[in-house]
Amino acid sequence: MISESRQSKPLLMRGSNVYHFIESNGSNSKKKGGTNMKQNGFIGIGLLVIIMLLSGCASYSPSLVRLEPGGPTTSRQVSGDLTIYVDEFATPQKSEKAFDTNLIKEGVLPLLIQVQNNGQHPYEVKMMDITVRENDTHTVLRPLTPEQTANKAKKNAVSRAIGWSLIVPIIAIPVAATASAIHTSKVNKQILQDFSAKGFPDGTIMPNKDRSGFVFFELPKGRKDLSGLNLQIASRNEVTGESLTIASPLPAATFKPIKAAPTTEATAQEENKKGNTL
């Protein structure tokens, strides 16, 4: 009680000071209110940018695909105990269905293969022993691992953040860049996991069993079809130790030829354009 009376007494005796205190306190409240409004506005802009980024940028929606042995684009070849089936996924529609990406634009030839063992002995087949070569020049196409191919299909967060910065205030650019980078990182992880899971698995094919998966190759620039290309598989009989090689021509497929790499400035413009559309 004593402390309360001592605190209130100066306020009663000095009215002008009380008035000044109330006036200045009200002014401070207005300043704080204005600051809070600005902060809330920035937060609102940040949330809007994040929502726009998550709803309209990077995504990955592949479909599960299976090889159809009797399909119109599937080739078949038999050698000894083994039978191989090869289906192309180089055409844009099939590539985008399986990988949500037009891999030919990235210079990648995706092939879905199946190896059947119709014999009595187990056979070992490895991805590194699967090759594609040109008949005329005997040139062997450079193989790509699923991880290397996934890196080519990964989304670019930087270009998207730059694109969004053109339509949002300058204060929101760090928010856009951060949100886009976090979201894109998750999408790229999903892409890597999907490509790895779909790759042809190394291992032993037991009698009356099969093994299937995707193999990837770097397609030479200027090619617009798969004519003159053969897929070759080198396997090993695990009982006798003998090698068995089987080859099959690739299915027919036509697509737009891969152009030479553009200049640095043109590449940057294309990346920005791609980022704005994602």
Predicted confidence at residue 199, as pLDDT, reads: 97
Instruction: Check pLDDT > 90 for residue 51.
Output: no
Residue 97 is assigned to a structural domain of this protein: yes
Task: Classify residue 72: in a domain, yes or no.
Answer: yes
Residues 10, 77, single domain; the answer is no
Ramachandran angles phi, psi of 68, nearest 5°:
-105, 105
CA distance 66 to 170: 48
Amino acid occupying residue 209? K
Same domain, residue pair 232 and 152: yes
Q: Is the pLDDT of residue 2 over 50?
A: no
Over 60: is that where the pLDDT of 164 sits? Answer: no
> Do 262 and 196 fall within a single domain?
yes
In angstroms, rounded to a whole number, what is the distance separating the alpha carbons of residues 56 and 277? 8
10 and 143 in a single domain? The answer is no
Same structural domain, 15 and 78 = no
pLDDT at 18: 44
Using one digit for the tens of pLDDT, what is the confidence trace for 173-219?
555 555 566 667 888 899 999 999 999 999 999 999 999 999 999 99
**Of residues 159 and 246, which shows the higher confidence score?**
246
Distance CA 183, CA 119 (A): 49
CA distance 146 to 233: 18
> Are residues 231 and 140 both part of a single domain?
yes
Residue 103: is its pLDDT beyond 70?
Answer: yes
Which range has highest mean pLDDT (50-54, 89-93, 110-114, 224-228)?
A: 110-114
Report if residue 50 sits inside a domain. no
Give the number of domains in the chain. Answer: 2
Contact 276, 58 (CB under 8 A): no
Instruction: Spell out the residues 6+ positions from residue 229 whose beta carbon is closer than 8 angstroms to its own.
Output: 132, 133, 134, 135, 141, 249, 250
Q: Domain containing 255: what range?
A: 57-277
Work out the angle at residue 163's Cα, subtended by the Cα atoms of residues 161 and 165, and round it to the nearest 5 degrees.
70
User: Could you give the CA distance from residue 251 to residue 182 in angstroms, rounded to a whole number?
Assistant: 40
Instruction: Say whether both 148 and 26 belong to one domain.
Output: no
| 49, part of any domain | no
pLDDT at 78: 97
Predicted TM-score (pTM) of the model is: 0.68
Residues 272 and 144 in one domain: yes
Q: Residue 51 falls within a domain, yes or no? A: no
Say if residue 35 is in the same domain as residue 127: no
- Model pLDDT, residue 221: 87
* Domain-embedded: residue 225: yes
Provide mean pLDDT across the span 12-21. 45
pLDDT in tens, 237-263: 999 999 999 999 999 888 876 655 444
**Angle, alpha carbons 47-49-55 (nearest 5°):** 100
pLDDT(224) > 80: yes
